[in-house]
Amino acid sequence: MRLLAGVGKTTLIQKASDALRSLGVPVDGFYTEEVRQGGRRIGFDVVTLSGLRGPLSRVGSEPPAGRREYRVGQYVVDLISFEQLALPVLKNADAGHSPGKRVCIIDEIGKMELFSQTFIHAVRQTLSSPGTVIFGTIPIPKGKPLTLVEEIRNRNDVKVFNVTKENRDSLLQEIVTAVQSCRK
């Protein structure tokens, strides 16, 4: 799925996750959520489907002493927090012995997340895992291409949905059906 900012992708991810779980599909993963203060966006959090939460980025915050600064626009990325939450989810994506493939939600595979080389490696490993279906979000191409995003976009086993405000509600069933068919 690739999306424009603010079209409701996280809500769609959450609804699809709930729908899949209600069908008995094993689902794990994480999504990103805006953090607002006084009506203004001040950053993003990573939220795992098991309920753990931590900062992905904040406006103008400084990295801890002695650590490299990773920045996307006005946001400083907290790579350690991101990796502590996202990497265990990916590591465990192929665990378990339920019938059919497990579904791993990754919202999103974007500029902030791609500062982590360990995350890039884990996504590639999960993509090549025969026991896991990834249901993830990637950005619409603009500017310099992101290598991993383009790799994903060009894979033969990837189905891309272009989500807009106009079609986001009608896509839910199509996405759930597509994910279910990948599990067979």
How do residues 7-23 score in pLDDT, each as one tens digit? 788 889 999 999 999 99
**Does 145 map to a domain?**
yes
**Does 52 map to a domain?**
no
**How confident is the model over 89-111, as a mean pLDDT?**
82
Highest mean pLDDT among 91-100, 102-111, 156-165: 102-111
Say what percent of the chain tops pLDDT 70: 91
Distance (Å, rounded) from C-alpha 121 to C-alpha 47? 20
**Does 49 map to a domain?**
no
Residue 174 has pLDDT above 90, yes or no: yes
Backbone angles phi, psi at 86, to 5 degrees: -80, -40
Q: Which amino acid is at 7?
A: V
Question: Which residues form the domain of 20?
Answer: 2-32+79-183
Distance (Å, rounded) from C-alpha 40 to C-alpha 15? 25
**Does 54 map to a domain?**
no
Banded model confidence at residue 3, pLDDT cuts 50, 70, 90: very low
**Does 70 map to a domain?**
no
**Does 62 map to a domain?**
no
The number of folded domains in the chain is 1
43, 58 in Cβ contact below 8 A? Answer: yes
Question: Is the whole model's pTM more than 0.75, yes or no?
Answer: yes
Q: What tokens were used for 83? A: 């990796």
**Does 85 map to a domain?**
yes
